[in-house]
Amino acid sequence: MLHLISLISAWAIPVMITFIPLYAFTRKVPVYESFVEGAKDGFGTAIAIIPHLVGMLVAISVFRASGALDFLMGFIAPALEGLGVPPEVLPLGLLRPLTGTGSLAYTTDLIRVHGPDSLIGMIASTIQGSTDTTLYVLTVYFGAVGIRNGRYALKVGLFSDIIGFIAAIVVCLLVFG
Amino acid sequence: MINGIWLGMIVIGFVFAAVNGRMDAFTAAVFDGAKNGVTVSFGLISVLVFWMGMMRVAEDAGLLRKIARLLGPVVGFLFPDVPKGHPAIGYILSNMSANLLGLGNAATPMGIKAMQELQTLNPDKETATPAMCTLLALNTASITLIPATLIAIRLNYGSADPAGIVGTTLAATAVATLAAIGADRLFRRLTLLRRPPKPPAVRTGDHAAGGSAVPHTSMKG
């Protein structure tokens, strides 16, 4: 099953990139011209995201560098330690929704220090792999189309992060604990 | 809410930097973060340009409409306000499949294309529609079958079973996604209830300004 899924993952992009123009060609689409015409939009979209991403990443970067994030982590850790959750993984719960590279670096460090097959390594891998960086996704997707008022999207994203974080820990404690 | 979080991170950061004597680090972090934002956006240029070109070919060939018609019912219940067979559904499906297969490079451009298509259905271009919020909910939770990056890292550090996290990750991501869809549904309904009924006759010129100022101020908190 796992082998099949990784096989599909490896084949998906090459198959799409070959099949889409081939199919379009049979439909009499001028494939190359059509590609170039569509590709023109890509640059502008990427540029439109810059202000949003710069604003958000500066705030996150300042929040981390000032020591505020560390303080918050130290504040939350003891509260959950009593539940049999290794305290080392708790900072991930805060890092994950804020910064993808930050939380990946933290996960990699936990794996390096405690070993990939330790309970900490397993929980950290599961947390990191099970959700995407909410603030990044919001910033990029809304930024690309110029949405200013995201309504309840942030609340929904953060709520599902919390639930995903708890689920990752519970499942790992049940399976590997 | 986003305004509060953004300002909050900066102000709290300032206070902590002042208390911890880390003003230098604060300044360095500002420019680091700004540089990072540009680097990440520039990194997106290549994939966006390429996939948007490829997606245009698919669109011109009528492929996206076909996918939307064929598989639309599968996701239709999540996006009740997107018309059946609309290309947005095709992009949403491509975005979801790319996420599922862990193809982050392809998922983001397709998600952005889906947002642009949803934006064409949006009467108020600065305020997210419920369908956009649902797409965001699916992407922040991001169901993934194979966490490829983590398997690679685990392999790198000599794991006896690098793929051992696939099952637990799938379970956690499924729970997170269900929570996201559930919360999205709930908020969607609450918003509909809270939104005051539209005044019967509004000139189109006033509509954009009035529409964004009146109903949404109550939802920001």
What crossing angle do the helices spanning A31-65 and B23-60 adopt, rounded to 10°?
160
Q: Long-range contacts for B163-169 (Cβ within 8 Å, ≥24 apart)?
A: B163/A2, B164/A117, B164/A122, B165/A122, B165/A125, B165/A126, B165/A129, B166/A2, B167/A175, B168/A122, B168/A126, B168/A168, B168/A171, B168/A172, B168/A175, B168/A176, B169/A125, B169/A126, B169/A129, B169/A130, B169/A168, B169/B144
Beta carbons within 8 Å of A130's beta carbon, 6+ residues apart: A164, A167, A168, B144, B147, B169, B172, B173, B176
User: B29, A58: Cβ pair inside 8 Å?
Assistant: yes
The pTM (predicted TM-score) of the whole model is 0.81
Which tens digit of pLDDT belongs to each residue from A98-119? 888 888 888 998 999 899 999 9
Q: Rounded distance, CA A170 to CA B28, Å?
A: 38
Mean pLDDT of the region A20-28: 95
Which tens digit of pLDDT belongs to each residue from A61-74? 999 899 998 888 78
User: B159, A161: Cβ pair inside 8 Å?
Assistant: no
Q: Is the pLDDT of residue B25 over 90?
A: yes
Pick the residue with more confidence: B73 or A37? A37
Instruction: Say whether B127 sits in a helix, a strand or coil.
Output: strand
**CB-based contact (8 Å) between A100 and chain B?**
no
Residue of B nearest to A16 (CA): B54
Q: Rounded distance, CA B162 to CA B156, Å?
A: 9
CA A7 to centroid of chain Cα atoms: 23
**Which residue carries 């081939």 as its tokens?**
A22
Beta carbons within 8 Å of B44's beta carbon, 6+ residues apart: A46, A49, A140, B108
Weakest-pLDDT range from A2-11, B97-106, B142-151? A2-11
Boundaries of every domain in chain A: 13-66, 70-176
Contact B107/B95 with Cβ under 8 angstroms? yes
* Residue A74: predicted pLDDT: 80
Residue of A nearest to B60 (CA): A29
Mean pLDDT of the region B84-92: 89
Residue B127 phi/psi, 5-degree rounding, is: -115, 135
Residue of B nearest to A56 (CA): B6
For an interface test with A, the pick among B41, B124, B177 (most A C-beta atoms closer than 10 Å) comes out as B41
Q: Is B94 exposed, middle or buried (0-12, 13-18, 19+ CB in 10 A)?
A: buried
Confidence of residue A87 (pLDDT cuts 50, 70, 90): confident
CA atoms within 13 A on the CB side of B157: 22
DSSP B86: -
Residue B145 phi/psi, 5-degree rounding, is: -80, -40
Distance from CA of B214 to the nearest CA of A (A): 13
Q: Is the pLDDT of residue B52 over 80?
A: yes
* CB < 8 Å to B24, chain A: none
Residue of A nearest to B33 (CA): A58
Beta carbons within 8 Å of A48's beta carbon, 6+ residues apart: A143, A144, A146
* CB < 8 Å to B146, chain A: 2, 5-6, 9
Q: Within the 61-90 window of chain A, which residues sit less than 8 Å (CB to CB) from chain B?
A: 61-68, 71
* Residue B197: predicted pLDDT: 53
Q: Rounded distance, CA A73 to CA A88, Å?
A: 10
Residue of A20, A26, A102, A32 whose CA lies nearest to A61: A102
The percent of residues in chain A predicted with pLDDT above 90, rounded, is 47
Q: Rounded distance, CA B61 to CA B187, Å?
A: 37
Instruction: Say whether A149 sits in a helix, a strand or coil.
Output: strand
Q: Rounded distance, CA A129 to CA A101, Å?
A: 13
Confidence of residue A176 (pLDDT cuts 50, 70, 90): confident
Considering chain A, what is the average pLDDT of its residues? 88
Q: Within the 112-131 window of chain B, which residues sit less than 8 Å (CB to CB) from chain A?
A: 112, 115-116, 118-119, 125-128, 130
**CB-based contact (8 Å) between B136 and chain A?**
yes
Contact A96/A113 with Cβ under 8 angstroms? no
Residue A71 phi/psi, 5-degree rounding, is: -60, -45
Pick the residue with more confidence: B215 or B48? B48
**Which residue carries 């539209």 as its tokens?**
B198
Distance from CA of A14 to the nearest CA of B (A): 12
**CB-based contact (8 Å) between A18 and chain B?**
no
**CB-based contact (8 Å) between B214 and chain A?**
no
Residue of B111, B138, B95 whose CA lies nearest to A140: B111
Which tens digit of pLDDT belongs to each residue from B121-175? 999 999 999 999 999 999 998 887 778 788 888 988 999 988 889 889 999 999 9
- The letter for the amino acid at A173 is L
Beta carbons within 8 Å of A67's beta carbon, 6+ residues apart: B16, B17, B20, B22
Residue of A123, A132, A131, A101 whose CA lies nearest to A172: A123
* CB < 8 Å to B52, chain A: 38-39, 41-42, 45
Pick the residue with more confidence: A45 or A83? A45
